[in-house]
Structure 1
Amino acid sequence: MQLAKQLFQVKSLDYCIRSAEIQDAAQLEKVRLLIDGETENMDRERGEAYLNATAFKRLIEEDAKSSCNIFLVAEVGGQIVGFSRCEGNELKRTKHQVEFGVGVLKEYWGYRIGRKLLESSIHWADAQEIKKMNLKVLESNEKAIELYKNCGFEVEGILKMDKRLADGNYYDTVVMGRIR
């Protein structure tokens, strides 16, 4: 599915949110690798479950054709600084829902880029008559949890000891959902 480009200015930073395009694949490969290594908020460490440009091209092509997926990017001055994706499926019992994920380069935190990616995804999901959006977030990512709550998501459960981080300790994952 495709989304029209949206322009934003926050704290003198101009950026746009738009659908991912084939020519974004090489940048996405690099940006995802950077985001995965900047914090422990993501599911992966840097280099794990690596996607190269070819894999991103396939993903972008598939999502553009699908009515139950959307892949968005945040762009500043021609450079991708973040992305989000909603992934659904065509199974009769679960095609009413999508899984949401987001990542923004740490340098660009505080400009509401993650919020705009989320709001754009919610708007898309509502237009597609998707009844439920799901996501998972690390318990220690309090800012993200607050953002999700402010956008209508509710805590649906906790996955105990779900992630082991660099400090050697186990952390819970918060499962959240938004029902339209």
Structure 2
Amino acid sequence: MKINKRKYAVNGLTYIIRSATNEDARQLSEVRLQIDGETENMDRERGEAFIDAPGFEQMIEADTESRKNLFLVAEANHRIVGFSRCEGSPLRRFAHKVEFGVCVLKAYWGHGVGTNLLKESIAWADAHDVKKMTLQVLETNDKAVKLYEKFGFEREGLLKRDKVLSDGYYYNTIVMGRTVD
């Protein structure tokens, strides 16, 4: 699916949030690789499960054609600084829900990029009769957990010792969901 682009100005940064296009594929590949190396809050380490530009083009095309998926980018100064995806399932028993994920370059934290990607995704989900959004977040990512709770996500479960980080310790992952009637 696609959304209309929206302009934001937060803490001195002006950016737009819009649907991803094939022209974004190369930048998305580079940005994802960079983000994976900037934080341990992601599922991957830098370079793992690498997606090249053609891979992103395929994903963008599939998401654009699907009524169940949404792929958004945040762009500041003609550069992608973050992105998010809502991914639905073709299975009827899961047709009512989507899984949400978001990534923002560390240099752009504190400008509401992740918050506004989430807001746009929720607005899209509500407008398209999505009854449930789910996500997973590292238990130590307090800022993200509080943000999700602010937007109506509840803790639904805990995946114990789910990830091992660079310090060699295991960390829990919180499963969260937002439902609408």
Same fold (TM over 0.5): yes
Partner of 2:18, secondary structure, is: strand
In structure 2, C-alpha distance between the alignment counterparts of 1:33 and 1:103, rounded to whole Å: 11
1:2-81 matches, within 5 Å, as 2-81=2-81
Shift of 1:90: 2.0
Provide the aligned C-alpha RMSD in A: 0.4
Partner of 1:148, secondary structure, is: helix
Structure 1 outlier segments of 4+, above 6 Å: none
Shift of 1:89: 1.4
Partner of 2:164: 164
Partner of 1:138: 138
How many residues are paired up?
180
In structure 2, C-alpha distance between the alignment counterparts of 1:136 and 1:166, rounded to whole Å: 19
In structure 2, C-alpha distance between the alignment counterparts of 1:12 and 1:141, rounded to whole Å: 25
* Structure 1: tracts of 5 or more residues without a match: none
Partner of 2:122, secondary structure, is: helix
Shift of 1:26: 0.2
The CA deviation string for residues 94-141 of structure 1, in whole angstroms up to 9 with x for no partner, is 010000000000000000100000000000001110000000000010
Shift of 1:11: 1.3
In structure 2, C-alpha distance between the alignment counterparts of 1:90 and 1:6, rounded to whole Å: 29
1:53-132 matches, within 5 Å, as 53-132=53-132
Please tell me the residue identity of whatever aligns with 1:24: D
In structure 2, C-alpha distance between the alignment counterparts of 1:32 and 1:95, rounded to whole Å: 28
Shift of 1:32: 0.1
Partner of 1:68, secondary structure, is: coil
